[in-house]
Structure 1
C-alpha cells in the first residue's frame, strides 16, 4: 500500500464552503465507484476554513496518470469535477490547471 497527501483551497466564501461540505456528505455513487476502480482503498478529506487536505491510501500499482485517464473518460466524474470547481480555487504555488497538489513529507517520527 502507498499513501498520498494532497492539498487544495476552497474559495473564501463561508456559504460556498458549507455547500462544499454538504456535497461531500452525499458524494454520488458513480464518483465513489471511480475512486475504488482507480485503486484507491481509502480516502479522507480534512478541512480548516478554506484549506483542504486529502489523505489517500492506494494499492501499490496506483498512478495519478491512470486515474487521470479514467476520469477524462468518465462523464459523471467530469460533471462532478466541473461542479466542484465552482467551490475550489488554485492553491498558491500550483501549476496552471492543477487542482489537488501532491504534498511531500518533510518530517516523520516513529516510536520504538
Structure 2
C-alpha cells in the first residue's frame, strides 16, 4: 500500500482526517492572526498548509506501519494488518488527543 492508498483508506474508514484537518485549520487561523497584516495568508494558502500538514502525518504514519513484512505486501495484507491490530482506532484516538503547537 502506498501513501496515497493509505490516505484514502484512512479517509474512508475512520474520522482521523476530519478531526485532524479541523484542528489544522484552526491552528492556521491562529497562526495567521499573529502575522503582520501584510504577511497574512489568504484562505487558499491556509488550506494548503493544513492539507500539507495532513499529508506529512500520513507519510509519517505510513513509514511507521511499513515493516519488512508489510513493505512489499499487497494492499489487502495492509488492510488486514490494520484491522487485526485496530490501528485506525488508535490513530483516530491520537488525532483526537492531538494538540497543535507552533
TM-score, length-scaled by structure 2: 0.32
Higher strand share: 1
**TM-score, with structure 1 as normaliser:** 0.30
Larger radius of gyration, structure 1 or 2? 2
The structure in which a higher percent of residues are helix is: 2
